[in-house]
Amino acid sequence: MKELLERKKGLHRRILIVDDEFIEREMLGEMLSGLYEIIYAENGAVALNITKTQRENISLIILDLHMPELDGVSLLKIIRTDSELRRIPVIVLTSEKGSEVECLQMGAADFITKPYDAPEVVRARVARSIELAEDSVIIHETERDILTGLFNKEFFFEYGKRLNKQNNIPMDALVIDINHFHIVNELYGRAYGNIILQRLGNNIHDLVRRTGGLACRSENDSFYIYIPHDDELEKKLPQFIEKISEVFSEHKISIRIGIYSDDGNDLDIERHFDYAKRASQSIRNKYTTSFNFYDSEFHKKELFAERLINEMDKALTDKQFKVFYQPKYNITGDVPKLVSAEALIRWDHPEYGMISPGLFIPLFEHNGLIHKLDMYVWNEAAGQIRKWREMFGLTLPVSVNVSRVDVFDPTLLDQLDSIVSKNSVSSEDLMLEITETAYTDDSDKFNEIIFGLRNKGFKIEMDDFGSGYSSLNVVTSLDIDVLKLDMQFIKNICSDTKNSKLVSIMIDIARLLEVPVVAEGVETREQMLLLKEIGCDIVQGYYFSKPLPVDEFEALIKKEIQGE
């Protein structure tokens, strides 16, 4: 581009004159020589060779049609269909009056008739052809993304709006994102990443050429496609995704697509793509889903989420959040024994009723609100341990959940410390459940944090063990105090021997680490007995009790004390 502008500023442009007649070449060259640098070719084959090797430096080709070897018509065809040569304008030399239209139809920029017109006319035609071609390159380059040749975002929206005005037909907005593209760059280098993006761009280009429509690269690894609405789109998407993913060949790279189909409302095109983008973002970490429609259901969920986020602060002040307690029983002896509890939060919403944490915790983890809520729960739980000690004369340790977001908060240790001392409880009685998937985020930093917590006396339970991807290597090198098996394994433990074997193996791992195992999600006596048989120490689940509000949990403690 810079080079192009410099050339426009008056530096010499190079013109290739192709004619088998020496005299004709020289005459034409003479007319143009003070203004341009002239090079010559005596037939089409030589000209093609020069054009290919010097394509960046040739501003114009003046071409005679009748020549031996490769004739002018064939050469013109080659140039017009070659994507790298196409931008070079060609002026055709013709002695046949009336063949002008034919030349222009073949893609010539202009024509000059033999014998030549006055030199000023020839020069004017040459200058105009070069200028037009250079302007169109500039326009092309400002509209396009250099890497893929697709539109850039600005022009994409501009042309999209025009398309809407002209056609006024329903359109589908698709956003294509590549999952974890930064890893591709890191593993294989940026140059390879660029090749992937180019290939993906080509496939997308093919698609919009077939269906009609527009496409752009909106940012690094995100593409927008705007195509006429297709009722069958959902059915066609898996095939489309498969086709597009071919560009990733042997690599385990995948894409995800968010879609917003025009439903006749008056929203502008940018909004359509906002929605499609959000639909794509919502499946970011879902490895089993590759596309997602932004429909009314999605919209409702978004509004609900927004409302919960907005109301969280007030709900905390109004005490709408309730901490429930679910008992954990030691099953190693003859009679199961209540040994501790897990604190689980619920939102008693004035309008929606009891909302489960599965709905709001992920939202709050996303925007940092979780920390406030967790602090509330930890405080409540610590206060509860003390109250029960005073009421019943016994210490029942309570586990609280520590979100993965909290783990990396540098003030975590101080805050937990002040919570236990304020409530006069021992740090080992407020046990900390940290989900397994948090362990893989940044293992060095993580281990350091865990070390600090344990040093202060806190006990660490690895929650949902088996749901993440920690390797045996990671697990065996960790400092933890309790291993808590993921519920999924317990679900089919009685019907599926593979599952019971897996649980057995995990219990062996726990033995190796010399830590007790908690199985959660135990719903039947059969499950409980099987777990006891294979050596599980502690059980939590509906079989014994659901999570209970404080007064009901207290009744349970009383029963336990009376039974002793």
* 464 binds ligand C2E per the rule CB under 6 A: yes
* 336 binds ligand C2E per the rule CB under 6 A: no
Interface mask toward ligand C2E for 527-546; x: CB under 6 A: -------------xxx----
Tokens of 16: 């290739």
Identity at 173, one-letter amino acid code: A
Q: φ and ψ at 214, to 5 degrees?
A: -135, 155
* 540 binds Mg ion per the rule CB under 5 A: no
* 221 binds ligand C2E per the rule CB under 6 A: no
Chain centre to alpha carbon of residue 230: 24
* 315 binds ligand C2E per the rule CB under 6 A: no
The piece of 1-9, 134-142, 143-151, 456-464 that touches Mg ion (CB under 5 A) is: 456-464
What minimum distance in Å lies between the beta carbon of 311 and ligand C2E? Answer: 17
Residues 6+ apart with CB under 8 A from 170: 228, 229, 261, 262, 263, 264
Cα distances (Å, whole numbers) of residue 297 to 176, 255, 274, 281, 461: 21, 23, 16, 16, 37
Spatial contact of 472 and 505, defined as CB atoms under 8 Å apart: no
What minimum distance in Å lies between the beta carbon of 463 and Mg ion? Answer: 4
Nearest to 251 by CA among 148, 180, 149, 191: 180
CA angle centred on 479, ends 474 and 483, rounded to 5°: 80
Residue with tokens 């009609």: 212
Interface mask toward Mg ion for 397-436; x: CB under 5 A: ----x-------------------------------x---
Judged by beta carbon, residue 179 or residue 399, the one nearer ligand C2E is 399
Fill in the DSSP letter of residue 144: B
* 463 binds ligand C2E per the rule CB under 6 A: yes
Nearest residue to ligand C2E, scored by beta-carbon proximity: 541
| Residue 380 touches which member of Mg ion, ligand C2E, none, C-beta under 5-8 Å by kind | none
- The full DSSP string for 1-47 is -HHHHHHHTTPPPEEEEE-S-HHHHHHHHHHHTTTSEEEEESSHHHH
The residue from 464, 481, 537, 560 that contacts Mg ion (CB under 5 A) is 464
Identity at 391, one-letter amino acid code: M
* 547 binds ligand C2E per the rule CB under 6 A: yes
* 401 binds ligand C2E per the rule CB under 6 A: yes
| Residue 377 touches which member of ligand C2E, Mg ion, none, C-beta under 5-8 Å by kind | ligand C2E
* 485 binds ligand C2E per the rule CB under 6 A: no
Judged by beta carbon, residue 500 or residue 540, the one nearer ligand C2E is 540
Distance, in Å, from the CA atom of 228 to the CA atom of 174, rounded to the nearest integer, reads 11
* 436 binds ligand C2E per the rule CB under 6 A: no
Interface mask toward ligand C2E for 403-422; x: CB under 6 A: x-------------------
The residue from 71, 158, 428, 523 that contacts ligand C2E (CB under 6 A) is 523
> What is the chain's length?
564
Spatial contact of 182 and 264, defined as CB atoms under 8 Å apart: no
What minimum distance in Å lies between the beta carbon of 174 and Mg ion? Answer: 37
Q: What is the dihedral of CA 16, 18, 19, 20, to 10 degrees?
A: 120
What minimum distance in Å lies between the beta carbon of 435 and ligand C2E? Answer: 6
* 377 binds ligand C2E per the rule CB under 6 A: yes
Give the number of other CB atoms < 10 A from CB of residue 40.
17
Residue with tokens 């509890």: 341
What is the crossing angle of helices 296-317 and 357-367, to 10°?
80
* 290 binds ligand C2E per the rule CB under 6 A: no
Which residues are near Mg ion by CB under 5 A? 401, 433, 463-464
Residues forming contacts to ligand C2E in the complex (CB under 6 A) are 326, 344-345, 356-358, 361, 370, 374, 377, 401, 403, 433, 463-464, 520-523, 540-542, 547
